[in-house]
Amino acid sequence: MAILKIARMGHPVLRHKADPVADPTAPEVRQLVADMVDTMEDAGGTGLAAPQVHISARVVVYKVSATRLEEGEEEVPLTALVNPVLTPVDREKIHGWEGCLSVPGLTGLVPRHRAVRLQAITPEGEMIDRTVTGFHARVLQHEIDHLDGKLYPQRMDDLSLLLFQEEMRFGIPERARDLMESESIEVDDAQDVETV
């Protein structure tokens, strides 16, 4: 077990496009995945990309817990993806709160594609090609942005909705409430933000 150091916003590794992995089933990839899972769980996150642990490789780990599911969606067990590629299924975007282990303490309301096609390979050599929606699609867009040198604030369309998570105790901003209601997203005053 190894807990790796997490890079924070401003570190150059988070700005660079990560390198493709030549051999997704190599033992080094499995070791990296095991260390990333340990690091993610230790930090209380639900997703992590290799650049966040100072490694420029196109590898992500994540899970989607039952508490985050919308109707008709399935729980996603702990998953590792190598060289993942996302393609938006349609143009529709919806807003949702995101937090990031590399931007500690903050949360922001971020527009993301509602549905994306995921193509990737696992460290076990399994090919994945499927459409994902909802929070699953959001986590993937967040993680794959890490592989392309982008952090979620760069995806925000209104920086007044970038907050310290602790200050959410005063309620979410009216503007966020209006936006979410206009997109038929359930507004929960005790927004608990997953960190990915």
| C-alpha–C-alpha distance, residues 157 and 172, integer Å | 17
Q: Provide, rounded to whole angstroms, the least separation between the CB of residue 143 and Ni ion.
A: 7
Q: What is the nearest approach in angstroms of Ni ion to the Cβ of residue 71?
A: 26
**Closer by beta carbon to Ni ion, 83 or else 195:** 195
Q: Is 143 a catalytic residue?
A: yes
Rounded to 10 degrees, what is the CA torsion of 16, 153, 130, 33? 50
The nearest distance, CB 178 to Ni ion, in angstroms, is 26
Closest CA to 175 of 109, 98, 80: 109
The contacts found for 127-131 with CB under 8 angstroms, 24 or more apart, are 128/81, 131/89
Q: Which of 142, 160, 159 is nearest to 151 (CA)?
A: 142
Of residues 87-126, those binding Ni ion (CB under 5 A)? 100
- Shorter beta-carbon distance to Ni ion: residue 56 or 175: 56
Query: Does 57 contact Ni ion by CB under 5 A?
Result: no
**Selected catalytic residue, list 28, 92, 143, 174:** 143
Residues annotated as catalytic are: 143
